[in-house]
Amino acid sequence: MNKKSKRVFSPMRTAILGSVILAMLHIILLGGAYQRKVAAEKIRSDHAALDQNYAELKQISEEQLSSLQSELDLIQAEVADLKRSFPELGAPFAIYHRGMDLSQSSGVNLNGISHLGSDLQETVSGNIQTDTYSIELTGLLESCLTYIQKLESAGMDTVTMEYVSIRPEEELCSLEIKTVGYPGIEE
């Protein structure tokens, strides 16, 4: 009997097997290329979205910065106004304390002392500075009169009453005084 041996790897089978392997490799490579193409398109679209978001965020940041800068300018102006409202140490501070002491001993409440202006005059004896102050008090008529008397006595020749207004029904006293003295040495 003639036995025909069957070969497992015949040239035809090897060619078919090779073709199948090559086809699978092509499919794998094409699938990988397709995935890379899809990923690249996704990256491009994400990049465009991120650029747009960045531009919007930058615009919002600039608007907020502008708004914050405006607020800062307002606050700095307010701080400057507050600094200007504080009395300077020295003569004005001493005048306020002296006015406060006189008001306490007279039985009136000192609402405020404000500096209205200064004037520098040249004389034969040298420069003389006059300062005008407004004084607001709350108290009874007798107490206001006592304050005025004590102020005149304390000032002797250096304080002049320019204006006095007493409203007994409202218990208000308003004074305008002038002080005379030598100007302070500027530092």
Side-by-side strand order, sheet with 126-138: 109-123, 126-138, 172-181, 159-167
Residue from 140, 127, 139, 134 nearest 112 by CA: 134
Instruction: Single out the residue in 62, 86, 110 at which a domain terminates.
Output: 86
Same domain (yes/no): 101, 160: yes
3-state secondary structure of 137: strand
Say how many domains are in the chain. 2
Out of 86, 112, 136, pick the residue that ends a domain: 86
pLDDT digits (tens, 9 = 90+) for 102-120: 888 888 988 888 888 888 8
pLDDT digits (tens, 9 = 90+) for 47-101: 989 999 899 888 888 888 888 889 999 999 988 877 776 555 555 566 777 888 8
Q: Do 112 and 173 reside in the same domain of the chain?
A: yes
Determine, yes or no, domain membership for 60: yes
Q: Based on the domain organization, do 99 and 56 belong to the same domain?
A: no
Q: Domain residues for 129?
A: 91-181
Query: Is the pLDDT at 187 greater than 60, yes or no?
Result: no
